[in-house]
Amino acid sequence: MPARPFRGRACALLVSTMIIALLALAPADTTTAVTDSAKEDGHEGVIVAFGNSLTQGFILPEAEAYPAQLERRLRSEGYAHRVVNSGINGETSSGALSRVNWILRLKPDIVILETGANDGFRGIAPERIEANISEIVRILKENRVTVVLAGMQMLSNLGPEYTAAFRNIYPNVARRHGVILVPFFLEGVAGEPSLNLPDGIHPTSGGYGIVVRNIWPHVVEAIEQRRKTSRPKTDP
């Protein structure tokens, strides 16, 4: 089923509250500290969740945000991967681009890239957002990082032309660089009051459980890609 535009109940929630929640916050780096020992014994690889407050887990305990929930599911299903939460409140795609080299210092095998929503709420041109995201992906791939790109959508009250152009950013980038695409990161969560905090934008712990379900097959695909490329070649 194709993802539906982010509309309906979500539009009924106060836009002013949403802007305060997503834009007025001073960016604060809450990334879990990772050193050269990140790939400690027993870990097959490192997955970095790279994004804004939707990744960081706005006001929730770190254990309830999606990166921690994803790591628990991975371990429960036999995948020995560490998932690092590198979400920053209020970050735009330009901000994400400015810190991509820092992300590389975490030595990720896989990056789940979720960015662009704050740009959309600011009304930044979709072409600019796409260029930023494309450059982030290019740099990650150039450094042999497998990328899972989280697709996002905008509120329909920004107008049909802007909404459509924004939605197309993510499949465009995924096709251009040949990366894995999550069609809509917040599928089944956006616009559902019971799955979001009172601001109507940021998921609750239960909402993040659905986010993990959304991204799960794509993360597993990325892991399997890494395994294939890391296997030693055998003589014919």
Annotated catalytic residues are 53, 199, 202
**Per residue, what are the HEC states of the chain?**
CCCCCECCHHHHCCHHHHHHHHCCCCCCECCCCCCCCCCCCCCCEEEEEEECHHHHCCCCCHHHCHHHHHHHHHHHCCCCEEEEEEEECCCCHHHHHHCHHHHHCCCCCEEEEECCHHHHHHCCCHHHHHHHHHHHHHHHHHCCCEEEEECCCCEHHHCHHHHHHHHHHHHHHHHHHCCEEECCCCCCCCCCHHHECCCCCCECHHHHHHHHHHHHHHHHHHHHHHHHHHCCCCCC
Structure tokens at 41: 């014994």
**CB atoms closer than 10 angstroms to residue 77:** 9
Nearest alpha carbon to residue 216 among 76, 116, 96, 115:
76
CB-based contact 134:95 (threshold 8 Å): no
